[in-house]
């Protein structure tokens, strides 16, 4: 009998803002009462989660006095230890306050850019004090509606300068934190800079310490742009840059829906879980999603359970995929190696001469069938539960 019960060893985490989401949207107000951070920690712990993540102001109000801040943090740390929950990822809210309306690191206003550094330093201190491993930067409002007023080349330089400042701040403080950058193509801005995983990976290489920096890709964000999320994550994994991940569900090319993991594109979710498990990714499985606006508090916890359960079911399906003789038989044929020929494809003068002279059977290649139809149907049947 399979057991899909989440356990801390599965490393499932939730942002306070996810299960704490009260259902407000641009068209309508809150539909659920607030749940306190401590209630969230308690409930998630009872559901088998590993830990929580937060924005500075999810825990400490932006106008809290230093002593208020300290007592809130103390109480929260106590709750984490009481309920055996980890604090995994910290981040800064650089989008809610009206002063961030033109962005934070890339605001045209120099005082906003400087205030951003101050707010980030404080939020990084908070994350380090609570033992976070990873610090996420999501450029919520780092973008424009019109390019008439902001130079996008200059904006990228400002963003780089700001992040470099914080890289040096973290090193000077001796915090063992890594930075993870989260791309998104649009929303809430008309366009957000560095919109995809690929563009973020390129940007990271230009920072003062690229080794300390990786990405935090989100299913919804690549899918909003019509892109294949598995391929985006693959590129990050291949470069050792997958530091964190935001799992959720999304219909392609729509607004950021943040549905329960697996609620949409179940096959995409399957290939994602399969790749994460096979790649040895050891980081948290973070759900950055929220319950439908139709739900009451009970529905919120159903949503949280659903995210974790679906992940575990898909993980088990990935194991079955490996055990399925018919599927594996086809894969063996597809992946058959021609080792002699393979050896000829690493460059040497001799190999180049040999390859130039080699006669390929082009008709055999033209007529070769890859069997993907059968393989995909078998995968679909496996997912539908009849294999
Ligand atoms: C969004 C983002 C955010 C970030 C979060 C952490 O589209 O709203 O996904 O949820 O992940 O702010 O940086
Ligand atoms: Mn996210
Ligand atoms: Mn998002």
Q: Is the pLDDT of residue 2 over 80?
A: no
Q: Is the pLDDT of residue 149 over 80?
A: yes
Closest ligand to C-alpha of residue 95 is 1
Q: Are the CB atoms for 120 and 92 separated by under 8 Å?
A: yes
Sequence-distant (6+) residues with CB within 8 A of 30 are 22, 23, 24
pLDDT in tens, 92-135: 999 999 999 999 999 999 999 999 999 999 999 999 999 999 99
Distances (CA, A) of 342 to 66, 323, 348, 366: 64, 28, 13, 20
Phi, psi of 243 (to 5 degrees): -90, -20
Q: Where are the domains of the chain?
A: 8-322, 325-383
Q: Are the CB atoms for 59 and 76 separated by under 8 Å?
A: yes
User: How many CB atoms neighbour CB 77 within 10 A?
Assistant: 14
What pLDDT score does 57 carry? 94
- pLDDT band, residue 3 (cuts 50/70/90): confident
Q: Whose CA is nearest to atom 3 of ligand 1?
A: 138
Q: Whose CA is nearest to atom 8 of ligand 1?
A: 140
Q: Whose CA is nearest to atom 10 of ligand 1?
A: 288
Query: 286 C-alpha vs ligand 1 centroid, how far in Å?
Result: 11
Least confident of 7-11, 181-185, 262-266, 338-342: 338-342
Determine the 3-state secondary structure of 188 from DSSP.
coil
Cα 361–Cα 364–Cα 366 angle in degrees, nearest 5: 110
Q: Which amino acids bring their CB within 6 angstroms of ligand 1?
A: 91, 136, 138, 182, 184, 218, 246, 256, 288
Query: 124 C-alpha vs ligand 3 centroid, how far in Å?
Result: 21
Sheet of 285-287, strand order: 213-215, 178-182, 134-138, 86-91, 51-55, 12-15, 285-287, 246-247
Q: Whose CA is nearest to atom 1 of ligand 1?
A: 140
Closest ligand to C-alpha of residue 220 is 3
Cα 275–Cα 279–Cα 282 angle in degrees, nearest 5: 110
Q: Which of 132, 140, 256 to mutate to test the pocket of ligand 1 (most atoms within 8 A of CB)?
A: 140
Instruction: Annotate 155-190 with b (16+ C-beta within 10 A) or e (fewer).
Output: bbebbeebbebbbeebeeeebebbbbbbbbbbbebe
Rounded to an integer, what distance in angstroms lies between the CA atom of residue 147 and that of residue 362? Answer: 50
The sign of the dihedral angle between the CA atoms of 56, 57, 63, 66 is negative
Distance of CA 115 to the CA centre of its chain: 26
Q: Are the CB atoms for 60 and 126 separated by under 8 Å?
A: yes
Is residue 309 reached through a cis peptide bond, with omega within 30 degrees of 0 on the bond before it?
A: no
Share of the chain above pLDDT 70, in %: 100
Rounded to an integer, what distance in angstroms lies between the CA atom of residue 279 and that of residue 285? Answer: 14
Sequence-distant (6+) residues with CB within 8 A of 258 are 18, 220, 248, 249, 250, 288, 289, 290
User: How many CB atoms neighbour CB 149 within 10 A?
Assistant: 9
Phi, psi of 89 (to 5 degrees): -135, 135
CATH of domain 8-322: 3.20.20.150
Determine the 3-state secondary structure of 190 from DSSP.
coil
The residues assigned a catalytic role are 55, 58
Residues in a beta bridge with 179: 135, 213
Query: 287 C-alpha vs ligand 2 centroid, how far in Å?
Result: 8
Q: Is the pLDDT of residue 1 over 80?
A: no
pTM > 0.75: yes
Q: Which of 13, 14, 15 to mutate to test the pocket of ligand 1 (most atoms within 8 A of CB)?
A: 15
Closest ligand to C-alpha of residue 139 is 1
Write down the H helix ranges in 174-259.
197-204, 219-224, 229-238
pLDDT in tens, 283-313: 999 999 999 999 999 999 999 999 999 999 9
Query: 296 C-alpha vs ligand 1 centroid, how far in Å?
Result: 22
Rounded to an integer, what distance in angstroms lies between the CA atom of residue 305 and that of residue 74? Answer: 28
DSSP 59-114: HS-TT--HHHHHHHHHHHHHHHHHTT-EEEEEE---SSSGGGTT-STT-S-HHHHH
Written as six digits, the tokens of 180 are 């993870």
- pLDDT band, residue 337 (cuts 50/70/90): confident
Q: Is the pLDDT of residue 150 over 90?
A: yes
Query: 140 C-alpha vs ligand 3 centroid, how far in Å?
Result: 9
Tell me the average pLDDT of the chain. Answer: 97
């Amino acid at each position: 009998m399979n057991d899909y019960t989440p356990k801390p060893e599965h490393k499932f985490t939730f942002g306070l803002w996810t299960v704490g989401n009260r259902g407000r949207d641009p068209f309508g107000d809150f539909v659920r009462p607030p749940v306190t951070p401590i209630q969230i920690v308690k409930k998630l712990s009872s559901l088998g989660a590993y830990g929580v993540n937060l924005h500075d102001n999810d825990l400490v109000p932006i106008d809290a006095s230093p002593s208020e801040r300290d007592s809130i943090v103390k109480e929260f740390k106590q709750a984490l230890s009481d309920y055996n929950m980890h604090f995994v990822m910290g981040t800064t809210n650089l989008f809610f306050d009206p002063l961030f309306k033109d962005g934070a690191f890339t605001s045209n206003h120099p005082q906003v850019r400087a205030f951003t550094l101050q707010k980030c330093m404080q939020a990084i201190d908070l994350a380090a004090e609570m033992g976070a491993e990873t610090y996420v930067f999501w450029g919520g409002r780092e973008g424009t509606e019109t390019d008439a007023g902001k130079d996008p080349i200059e904006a990228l330089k400002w963003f780089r300068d700001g992040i470099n400042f914080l890289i040096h701040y973290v090193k000077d403080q001796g915090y063992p934190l890594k930075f993870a950058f989260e791309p998104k193509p649009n929303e809430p801005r008309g366009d957000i800079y560095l919109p995809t995983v690929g563009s973020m990976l390129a940007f990271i290489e230009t920072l003062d310490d690229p080794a300390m920096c990786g990405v935090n890709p989100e299913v919804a964000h690549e899918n909003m742009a019509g892109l294949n999320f598995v391929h985006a994550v693959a590129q990050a994994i291949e470069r050792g840059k997958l530091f964190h991940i935001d799992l959720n569900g999304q219909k392609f090319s729509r607004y950021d829906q943040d549905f329960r993991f697996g609620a949409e594109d179940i096959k995409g979710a399957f290939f994602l879980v399969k790749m994460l498990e096979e790649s040895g990714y050891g980081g948290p499985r973070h759900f950055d999603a929220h319950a439908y606006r139709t739900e009451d508090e009970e529905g919120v916890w159903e949503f949280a359970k659903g995210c974790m359960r679906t992940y575990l079911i898909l993980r088990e399906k990935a194991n079955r995929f490996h055990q399925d003789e018919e599927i594996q038989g086809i894969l063996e044929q597809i992946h058959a190696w021609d080792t002699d020929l393979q050896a000829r494809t690493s460059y040497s003068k001799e190999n180049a001469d040999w390859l130039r002279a080699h006669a390929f059977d082009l008709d055999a290649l033209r007529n070769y069938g890859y069997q993907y139809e059968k393989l995909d149907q078998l995968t679909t049947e496996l997912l539908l539960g009849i294999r």
